[in-house]
Amino acid sequence: MATLTCPGCAATVSHDDLICFTCGTNLPRRGPVEEEEATPPTVMQEYLRPDDAPPGAQAPATGPISPVVLRLTFPAGNVDVPAGTSLVLGRDPGESLVAAAFAGCENVSRRHATITVSDTGQATIRDEYSTNGTFVNGDRVLPGTDVRITDGDLVRLAADVTAEVSLSGRPGFSTNGHQGAG
């Protein structure tokens, strides 16, 4: 079997891994069919090319990624999303790496919402056409629409699962001393 590498940092990854444990990049799903067409890289996997690059040229595999980490503080625990990655929130363990946090929440859809933190550190949430809705500071997010979230926002999935959003510029940050709190 061929050695698999992360498209974000070139670290060796296992065939069964969903994310790279070195850099946090979401890994493409590997299906049983080897003859599938290669999917184009997502915005999260590709850096913007310089204006003078020829059309179709691939960007270098290295580049600066913001040190921002988004933390969602749920009653069941914290969920961290580093810059340059996205994470599905929901009850389906096949879709969400944090499904265990919502196991007892029947109001949360199997694939409820997606949190994305861009390479530059801007965070968004998108409702994935959930049954009971996704809310930011009490306002319902339109299904399929990305809504920006910032430090201090409250994100609610369905009627009763609420998390506070914290953003930090360094990995391993602590929420004990809220930065910028007034």
Are residues 41 and 74 located together in one domain of the fold? Answer: no
Q: Residue 50: what pLDDT? A: 47
Strand 77-82 with 69-74, pairing: antiparallel
Structure token digits, residue 170: 């360094």
**pLDDT given for residue 129 in this prediction:** 96
Residue 2 lies in domain: 1-46
Q: Is residue 60 part of a domain?
A: no
pLDDT attached to residue 1: 56
Alpha carbon of 46 to those of 25, 59, 104, 124, 139: distances in Å? Answer: 11, 7, 37, 18, 32
Nearest to 127 by CA among 80, 86, 88: 88
The pLDDT, as a whole number, for residue 176 is 43
In a domain, 115, yes or no: yes
Residue 79: inside a domain, yes or no? Answer: yes
Give the separation between CA 58 and CA 143, rounded to whole angstroms. Answer: 32
Q: Are residues 77 and 24 in the same domain?
A: no
Q: Consecutive 10-residue runs of the chain (182 residues): their mean pLDDT?
A: 76 76 70 48 45 50 69 87 92 90 89 92 94 96 95 93 84 42 34
Residues 31 and 74 both lie in one domain: no
Structural domains of the chain, count? 2
Structural domain contains residue 64: no
